[in-house]
Structure 1
Amino acid sequence: MTQDILCIGSVLWDVIGRTPHQMHLGSDEPGRITRLPGGVAMNIAMTLHRFGLRSALLTAVGQDAEGDELLADCTARGMVTTFVHRSSGLPTDRYMAIEGPSGLTAAVADAHTLEAAGDAILAPLEDGRLGSSKAPYQHVIALDGNLTQDLLQDICTRASFAQADLRVAPASPGKARRLAPLMHHKGATLYVNREEAGYLTDTLFDTAAQAAEGLIAAGAHRVLVTDGSDAAADGHHLRGVIQAPCPEVQVRRITGAGDTFMAAHIAAEIEGQLPQDALETAQKSAARYVSGEDL
């Protein structure tokens, strides 16, 4: 194999505007605007790369100049792009966000090309390049909620996914309910924040530990729940719930923090860390990310 993990989902251009000034409806403030490869699958792959793990991307990218540039950038960052589906007649997806000193102010995600591609992005797991229904892929797959709910439901019953170690994250709180079908997949671990856990269970939780307990009670096999600067929790249907605090840092960015937590946790477990150690490693990695240490 030329990769350690598969990352399935959104790979797009992130356009992020950041300002140190407080924002409100109609604000027009000075700041910095950056463009870099993003999307849940890409953010996870980039973080895994920092931990020495090589990711193969399964996604849809337009046959346009932005798509060519995006894939060249992904390759330069160490990702395997051989299996990427190039969509004809559709533009490369984009995400645009505004962040102020208190975090995310507003964002718009344009993942229409990924959604339109549907199960075409999964072809390598069916046609023998990475696996098939008769010889299922047996390693770690990071899967994001930018896929349609129908496709996520389909993945739950596909023989080609039956033996995979699925690590699943929503693309945003508004898409968290898409993950409901995967809660009962025996190989799935869900990564959500406290708000997203509430959407999945129609319940308001006060802590990540409560949210983890609620998700397990609702039928999930394993969940990781974050809660901003408060403690995160790891819930398992047999082991129960463990927690780890978040280090105190000055927040300089928000977008991508959840993806960083997820990637750091996956890398720690692949390395062989025990659940408590892996949870603490993920919390520390996410804290370093939001503090902007690598900016």
Structure 2
Amino acid sequence: MTKTPDILCIGSVLWDVIGRAASHMRVGSDVPGRITRLPGGVAMNIAMTLRRFGMTPGLLTTIGRDAEGEELTAEATRMGMICDHIYRSDDLPTDVYMAVEGANGLIAAIADAHSLEAAGDKILRPLANGALGSVHTPFAGPVALDGNLTEDLLQEIAQSPLFARADLRVAPASPGKAERLLALVGHPSATFYVNLEEAGLLCQTRFETSDIAAAALIKRGVHRVLVTDGGKSASEGTAGDIITQTPPAVMVTRVTGAGDTFMAAHIASEAQGDDRPTALTRALNAAATYVSGETPL
């Protein structure tokens, strides 16, 4: 019998191919390091952290029926995620993300999420056909959305009765896709998780601090927002009520997936009943632990 998910993670599930070097890098650098391949993608990164916090996420995405897709689906199932509702395509390859990181942070990255974009609203069918919900009995619970979805699909979600009872948690896949989230500005239950750069792109300006950015996004019409600024600060709030904290100082050994870890830890903390300050603290601690190279718990 299929389990009922505690949360739906909708978006990119793919292979992360990450090259990491211990030295500072620039354009043209050729240095020794390590190359790893791990399950990734924004939706997958969020789901993996949710599992570590004891939640059972269901994945809504597309994965090819190629060898890479079979291996990825098997790994997600092994980790305890509900994969029964994934759209498996016969003609679309499994997506992949490739990044290079140095001691000075992310050097460059390419996200090949073309299959997810091509699948479009096919990944949402379980929310309409009764498997997870329908127009008359929409899914009631938290839903993590990522910015790898197309702008058209995000606009459809913003207006769809299938999400009328959902607690939407939204994150851009990267600064380059941040403006796609504008489709969900004004949604009555959407919480945005963005970094300082992404907040600036959404407001077409630059911000000096996370609290100023959070206030500007709320004024623009975002229902609730969390803004991070690396190791400097993070702010969470709604209209007229913003709290700000500083994350613990750690040695940074990796950056890819840190924002997804922060978001998942915050969602899990609130699901467990933590108040706002406690949930923000736990999320910052989880992200700090992650970037230090440890596994957040």
State TM-score, norm by structure 1.
0.98
Q: Deviations over 1:154-180 (max 9, x none)?
A: 101100101100000000001000000
What percentage of aligned pairs have identical amino acids?
A: 61
State the partner residue of 1:255.
Answer: 256
Aligned amino acid, residue 90 of structure 1: L
Question: How far, CA to CA, are the matches of 1:109 and 1:219 in structure 2?
Answer: 29
Residues in 1 aligned to 2:256 and 2:27: alpha-carbon distance in whole angstroms:
20
- SS state at 2:24 partner: coil
1:169-220 deviation per Cα after TM superposition (whole angstroms, max 9, x unaligned)? 0000010000001121101000000000001010110011010001001011
- Aligned counterparts of 1:221 and 1:288: Cα–Cα separation in 2: 29
**Unpaired segments ≥5 residues, structure 1:** none
Match of 1:129 in 2: 131
CA distance in 2, matches of 1:277, 1:190: 18
SS across alignment from 2:233: strand
User: 2:122 — aligned with what?
Assistant: 120
Residue 5, structure 1, aligned to residue 15, structure 2: no
What is the CA–CA distance in structure 2 between the aligned matches of 1:193 and 1:219, rounded to whole Å? 17
- SS of aligned partner of 1:184: coil
Distance 1:147 1:85 in 2: 14
Equivalence for 2:44: 42
- Per the TM alignment, residue 16 of structure 1 is displaced from its structure 2 partner at its CA by 0.2
Residue by residue over 1:203-241, the C-alpha shift from the partner in whole angstroms, topping out at 9 and shown as x without a partner, is 11001101000100101110010000011000212x521
Match for 1:214: what amino acid? Answer: A
| Partner SS for 1:278 | helix
Equivalent residue, structure 2, for 1:230: 232
Structure 1 position 2, deviation (Å): 2.6
Question: C-alpha separation between the residues in 2 aligned to 1:11 and 1:280?
Answer: 27
Q: 1:199 aligns with which of 196, 201, 218?
A: 201
Cα distance in 2, alignment partners of residues 104 and 72 from structure 1:
29
Q: What SS does the corresponding residue of 1:109 show, helix, strand or coil?
A: strand
Q: Helix, strand or coil: the match of 1:250?
A: coil
- Looking at structure 2, the residues matched to 243 and 55 of structure 1 have their Cα atoms a distance apart, in angstroms, of 28
Q: Residue 243 of structure 2 corresponds to which residue in structure 1? A: 242
Map of 1:213 onto structure 2: 215
| Counterpart-to-counterpart distance in 1, 2:198 and 2:55 | 28
Q: Which residue of 2 aligns with 1:145?
A: 147
The Cα of 1:43 is off from its aligned counterpart by: 0.1
Q: Unpaired segments of 5 or more residues in structure 2?
A: none
Q: Which residue of 1 aligns with 2:285?
A: 284
Moved over 3 A (4+): none
What's the TM-score once normalised by structure 2's chain length? 0.98
Partner of 2:218, secondary structure, is helix
SS of equivalent residue, structure 2 residue 237: strand
Distance 1:36 1:120 in 2: 25
Let me know the Cα RMSD of the aligned residues.
1.0
- Quick check: 1:20 aligned with 2:22? yes
C-alpha distance after superposition, 1:107-148 (max 9, x if no partner): 000000000000000000011110111111110001101000
Aligned to 1:274: 275
Q: C-alpha separation between the residues in 1 aligned to 2:5 and 2:121? A: 21
CA distance in 2, matches of 1:217, 1:63: 45
Cα shift at 1:294:
3.1
